[in-house]
Amino acid sequence: MKLAAIGLAIGLAGSFALTRALSTYLFGVKPLDPLTFIVASILLIAVALGAAYRPARRATEVDPMTVLRCD
């Protein structure tokens, strides 16, 4: 989740910096539309949380002694 938060911060900073350059490609959306930034940020964090949760959940279901004996 730390990497997702760092990536989100860098991405938001970059998108704020490039809004003037990309404003000609946006149709029907303001360059600094807060709803778009909020929804994209929430979606990114939700996907990162889901990607981190599933492997962690599977790892907790395995008996630690079984894993140690295999190695």
**Tell me: the pLDDT tens digits for 14-26?**
988 888 888 888 7
Calpha distance 7→15 (Å, rounded): 12
Calpha distance 18→11 (Å, rounded): 10
pLDDT tier at 1 (50, 70, 90 boundaries)?
confident
H/E stretch holding 22 reads: helix 19-22
**Tell me: the pLDDT tens digits for 8-65?**
999 999 988 888 888 888 777 788 888 888 999 999 999 999 999 988 898 888 888 8
